Amino acid sequence: MQITDLETELKMHPLLRLAFRPLFLFGAAFSALAILIWGLALFGKIHIEPVGNILFWHSHEMIFGFACAIVIGFLLTAMQNWTGLRAPHGKQLFFLITLWLLSRALMLWGAALPLWLVIFIDIVFLPSAAVLLAIPILAAKQVRNLFFIPILLLLTACNAISWLGLYLHDYALQQHGLYNAVLLITLLMSILGGRVLPMFTANGTLTKKVDPIVWLDRLALGALWLIFIQQFLKLENYLPHPVIGLLYAVAAALLSVRCARWKLWITFKVPLLWSLHLAYWFIPVGLALFAMHYSGISLNGNAILKSTAMHALTAGAMGSMILAMMARVSLGHTGRPLQVSPLMVPAFMLVLSAGISRSLLLILFPELTQTILALSIIFWVSAYSLFCFCYSRILTTDRADGRPG
C-alpha cells in the first residue's frame, strides 16, 4: 500500500514516519530502565522520590507509561492498513511522542511540581491518541474498528481513577484504577490475539488457517467484558466471592479452548509464533489464578494473592505478548523478512521466564520471594534490552525494501 510519496518520506526522520517506530523503541527502552530502577529501589540500592511514591510510580508507569505506549504504537500503525489512509506522522507524531516523553520525565522527577500539572500532562496522552486514531477510521467509515476509541477512553478513565486515588491518599482507589486498566488491556490483547494469531500461524507454518467458532469467541470475550465490568463497578463488595471466582474460571476455560484450537505445537520451529502463543496462554493462566483467589483455593498449600494473579497478566501476558508483537510488527512494517535475530530467541525465553517467576514461582516458593523477585527483574531487563539492541537500527532507518513507511 503506497499512500505517500517516497520523496516526501525521505525528508522525514524515520522515527516520525509511523507510530510504531518511536513508541516501540522508546517504550521498550523505558520498560527496561523502569524495571531496573524499581529493582534497585526495591532492594535498597538507590533512593528515589517520584510523583506519589515508588510503588505508585512502578505500577502506573508499567501500565500507562509502557503498555499503553505500545498499544498506541500498534493501533496507530495498524490503522493505516485498516483504512488505506495515511497514519499520523511528522508533526502530529512528534507532538504525541513529546507528550509521552514529558509525562515519563515528570513522573520520575516532577515531585516538586504542582500535582495537577503532572496529572494533566499524563492524562492527555491517551485521548490525544484516540483523536488521531478516530479521524481516519471515521473518514474511511471503518465501523468495526471504532471499537478501539471507547477502549482508549476507558483506559483514560482508569488512569484518572488511579490519579484520584493518589490525590485522596486512597490506596484502594489507586489500585482500583490500575486493576481496571490491566483487565481492559487483557481484553484488548484477547481481541487482537484472536484476529491475528490464527492468520500469523497459518502463514508462518504454511498450514490451513483455523476458522473461528463465533459462539466460542463471543462467550470468551463476553466473559472478559463481564470481568471488567464487575471490577470497574466493584461488585466484589456485593457478590459472594465464589460467584466472582466462577466467572473468572469460566473465562479461563473458554480462552483456553480458544487458544488450544490455534495449535501451539505446530509453531515450535518459528520463534515469532511460539512466543506469541505462549504469551497468550498467560491470559487463561492469570484468570485461573484469579478464580482460585476468589474461591479460596490454594496452590501447594499457599494462598494466591490478587497481586500475584495480576502479575500473571502484566509481567506474563503483557510483557511477553508486547515483546513478541513488537518483534514481528517491526520487521513487517520495515519491509524485512519475518526472521528474528538469533538474540531474540533468548529474549523471548527471558521475558516468559520473568512472567513465570513473578507469578507461579512466587506462589510455589514464597520462602524465596526476594530471590525470585530479583530473577524476574533481571529476566525482564535483559529481554527488553536485547530487543532494543536488535531493533534500534531497524526502527531508526529506512525500510529495507525502499518503500515509504
The grid cell for 143 is 465501523
Whole-number Å distance between alpha carbons of 37 and 45 = 9
pLDDT confidence tier of residue 5, bands split at 50, 70 and 90: low
Average pLDDT, integer, range 226-255:
96
DSSP-H helix ranges across 50-206: 54-60, 68-83, 90-109, 115-139, 148-167, 171-205
pLDDT confidence tier of residue 404, bands split at 50, 70 and 90: confident
* 272-to-25, 57, 380 alpha-carbon distances in Å: 18, 32, 18
From 234, 136, 99, 125, select the one nearest 180 (Cα to Cα): 234
**Phi, psi dihedral angles at 302 (to 5 degrees):** -110, 130
Task: Note the pLDDT tens digit of each residue in 107-119.
Answer: 999 999 999 999 9
Average pLDDT, integer, range 243-262:
97
Average pLDDT, integer, range 14-21:
94
Whole-number Å distance between alpha carbons of 378 and 124 = 32
Whole-number Å distance between alpha carbons of 15 and 285 = 36
Do 334 and 400 form a contact (C-beta atoms < 8 A)? yes
Q: Is the pLDDT of residue 65 over 90?
A: yes
Close Cβ partners of 326 (under 8 Å, ≥ 6 residues apart): 20, 24, 28, 70, 387, 391
User: pTM, whole model, 2 decimals?
Assistant: 0.94
What is the pLDDT, as a whole number, of residue 6?
61
Whole-number Å distance between alpha carbons of 291 and 277 = 22
DSSP reduced 3-state for 11: coil
Give residue for cell 502463514: 203
Close Cβ partners of 311 (under 8 Å, ≥ 6 residues apart): 355, 358, 359, 362
Average pLDDT, the chain: 94
What is the pLDDT, as a whole number, of residue 3?
53
Task: Note the pLDDT tens digit of each residue in 336-395.
Answer: 999 999 999 999 999 999 999 999 999 999 999 999 999 999 999 999 999 999 999 999
Q: Provide the CA 361 distance to its chain's centre, in angstroms.
A: 22
Q: Is the pLDDT of residue 142 over 70?
A: yes
Task: Note the pLDDT tens digit of each residue in 291-311.
Answer: 999 999 988 888 899 999 999
Residue 44: count of CB within 10 angstroms of its CB: 7
User: What is the DSSP annotation of 207-262?
Assistant: -PPPPP-HHHHHHHHHHHHHHHHHHHTTGGGTS-HHHHHHHHHHHHHHHHHHHHTT
Whole-number Å distance between alpha carbons of 349 and 275 = 8
Task: Note the pLDDT tens digit of each residue in 203-214.
Answer: 999 999 999 999
Q: Is the pLDDT of residue 43 over 60?
A: yes
What is the pLDDT, as a whole number, of residue 1?
45
Give the side-chain half-sphere CA count within 13 A for 194: 21
Q: Is the pLDDT of residue 96 over 90?
A: yes
What is the pLDDT, as a whole number, of residue 7?
67
* Amino acid (1-letter code) at residue 211: D
Whole-number Å distance between alpha carbons of 360 and 312 = 8
Of the candidate ranges 6-20, 87-101, 204-218, the one whose mean pLDDT is the lowest:
6-20
DSSP reduced 3-state for 404: coil
Average pLDDT, integer, range 1-18:
73
Task: Note the pLDDT tens digit of each residue in 148-188.
Answer: 999 999 999 999 999 999 999 999 999 999 999 999 999 99
